[in-house]
Amino acid sequence: MKKYDVVTTISYPRKGAMGKTGSWRVFKPILNKERCVKCLRCWIFCPEGTITIKPDGSIDIDYEYCKGCGVCANVCAVKAITMEREEKK
Amino acid sequence: MRTIIDTGNKIAALAAKMAKPDVVAAYPITPQTTVVEGIAEYVERGEFDGDYICVESEHSAMSACIGAAAAGARTFTATSAHGLLLMHEMLHWAALARLPIVMVNVNRAIGPGWNIWSDQNDSIAQRDTGWIQFYCSSNQEIFDTIIQSYKLAEHRDIQLPVMVCYDGFILSHTSLPVKVPEQKEIDDFLPKREPRWILDVDNPITHGNIIMPKDYPPVRKAMQDAQERAKKLIPEISKEWRDRFGTYHGDLIERYRCEDADYILLSMAALGAESKVAIDDMRKNGLKIGLARIRVFRPFPREDILSLAKEAELIVLDRCISIGMEGVLFSEVKASLYGNVDTKVYGFIAGLGGKDVTYRDIREMCEKVMSGKYEGYGWYDIEG
């Protein structure tokens, strides 16, 4: 990737360019894998790309970067994702 | 090289065309309108190769220039008074993004009361945005400064936008002779822009993203450092222009009959040209007075002013005021001297809203100071 040397605000695309944004979370999405039908609506709608698809087609949530916005829970057709208040560590 | 006679605005349009911008985005406003019309005419005649974007406001004009400049384009726009004020947010953005946009601002008073005549409060109010500011005193200087501004703005050590200001009507609508070099000569003086960073789909970046407090001060300081470097580069560019084309209007300031002067008058833009007539008149009567015309207001020529103040007392003429304080040039001139010399500085506010200031008026102000009957600053020739 080409890097620029001018002093201004440039952000280069990479995972976690803005730091560990998972620390912003208040509510945490919890996936019920038995209910999940792998339709991938959550994967389509997640604004941060934190829904990952495993080789077997099942999904996972990357809590390092999930900000807890709740969009996935909202769009889930079978209500397999619930938002739970997270205790501060 | 040919000599033509035309108005300041038409000369600005010609200079803009000859600088070969890739994108022009502008919105018409009196007294800038004929700059935009002039460029539209070049587009219509097929003499301008760039994209000409008609926008719905000045905020959009500056935004379009920012977007285009971020993609690597050379850009031009022009505005005046309320249009400039509407751009204010994006002026900061252009400078912080380090985009070398060149813009003409035709100085005009701010309403209400609605007033379309010359006054510098519009552009002086933008002094803290990070833009470099030139103030021109003739149509030749308008032409030369616009072309020079691209070279300055795009220089790898500068990377800041430049505002070229001149008086509404006094220059914008007045025809004066101007020497115009051949296109080939301009191309040799001003090569294609080489951007330091660009928005490029094949090499994606985000620009203008959030940065943490510890990262913010260096961004501001880099702009300040670039302005300081511009103080050295502006004289170099002015001299290169003089060597190539023969016209010269001073560096950061233009000195006129300053040798052996006991008093030096400081003024800007067209008032600077009028001041020369007043200086000639007073010199004829044996008064030892010279003129320092402030050609560049940002970066502020504090070192030049300090060197003048070591030799003479200073008389400052402001066509603007920071309400609640005093004339802006008056303040900044005094700030330039602080801790170095205790030279007396006298200030006048004159010519707001296009009120005519003739060489006789300027002579009267100077004579008031030189007679020893004037202190501090005040308003010249005002009723009520």
Q: Residue A3 carries which DSSP code? A: -
Q: Using a CB-CB distance cutoff of 8 angstroms, which residues of chain B are in contact with residue A17? A: 206
Evaluated on CA atoms B184, B103, B40, B136, the torsion sign reads negative
Instruction: Give the C-alpha separation, A38 to B38, whole Å.
Output: 61
Which CATH number does A21-85 carry? 3.30.70.20
Choose, out of B98, B197, B199, the residue to mutate when testing the contact with A (most A CBs < 10 Å): B197
In this predicted structure, the answer to whether residue A87 has a pLDDT above a threshold of 90 is no
Measure in Å the smallest separation between the Cα of A67 and chain B Cα atoms.
Answer: 16
Residues 141-170 of chain B whose Cβ lies under 8 A from any Cβ of chain A: 159
Type of residue numbered A52: T
Query: In this predicted model, what pLDDT tens digit does every residue of B282-335 receive, in sequence order?
Result: 999 999 999 999 999 999 999 999 999 999 999 999 999 999 999 999 999 999
In this predicted structure, the answer to whether residue A41 has a pLDDT above a threshold of 70 is yes
Give the residue from A65, A58, A62, A71 showing the smallest Cα distance to A23: A65
Confidence (pLDDT) at A16 = 83
**DSSP E strands: which ranges in B213-321?**
253-256, 263-268, 289-294, 296-298, 313-318
Nearest to B209 among A1, A7, A9 (CB): A9
Residue B178, both tokens: 């101007």
Residue B109, classed as helix, strand or coil, is coil
**DSSP E strands: which ranges in B131-281?**
132-135, 162-167, 175-180, 206-207, 253-256, 263-268
Which residue segments constitute the domains of chain B, with CATH numbers given? 2-245 (3.40.50.970), 253-379 (3.40.50.920)
- Any residues with CB less than 8 A from the CB of B67 and at least 6 apart, and which? none
Type of residue numbered A68: G
Cβ distance of A7 and B206 shorter than 8 Å: no
Query: In this predicted model, what pLDDT tens digit does every residue of A54-84 receive, in sequence order?
Result: 998 899 999 999 999 999 999 999 999 999 9
Query: In this predicted model, what pLDDT tens digit does every residue of B189-200 receive, in sequence order?
Result: 999 999 999 999
In this predicted structure, the answer to whether residue A89 has a pLDDT above a threshold of 70 is no
Whole-number average pLDDT of chain A: 92
Cβ distance of B211 and A9 shorter than 8 Å: yes
Residue B283: enclosing H or E segment and its boundaries?
Answer: helix B269-284
Choose, out of B157, B194, B198, B203, the residue to mutate when testing the contact with A (most A CBs < 10 Å): B203
In this predicted structure, the answer to whether residue A88 has a pLDDT above a threshold of 70 is no
Sheet holding B253-256, edge to edge: B253-256, B289-294, B263-268, B313-318, B345-349, B377-379
Asked if B320 contacts B270 with a C-beta cutoff of 8 angstroms, the reply is: no
Beta bridge partners of B83: none
Domain boundaries, chain A: 21-85
ipTM for this prediction: 0.75
Q: Using a CB-CB distance cutoff of 8 angstroms, which residues of chain A are in contact with residue B210? A: 18
Instruction: Give the C-alpha separation, B165 to B296, whole Å.
Output: 10
Q: What is the pLDDT along chain B (384 residues), one digit of tens a residue?
A: 999 999 999 999 999 999 999 999 999 999 999 999 999 999 999 999 999 999 999 999 999 999 999 999 999 999 999 999 999 999 999 999 999 999 999 999 999 999 999 999 999 999 999 999 999 999 999 999 999 999 999 999 999 999 999 999 999 999 999 999 999 999 999 999 999 999 999 999 999 888 889 999 999 999 999 999 999 999 999 999 999 999 999 999 999 999 999 999 999 999 999 999 999 999 999 999 999 999 999 999 999 999 999 999 999 999 999 999 999 999 999 999 999 999 999 999 999 999 999 999 999 999 999 999 999 999 998 875
A29-37: average pLDDT: 96
Whether B205 and chain A come into contact, CB under 8 Å, resolves to: yes
Residue A15, both tokens: 């995972």
This prediction has a pTM of: 0.92
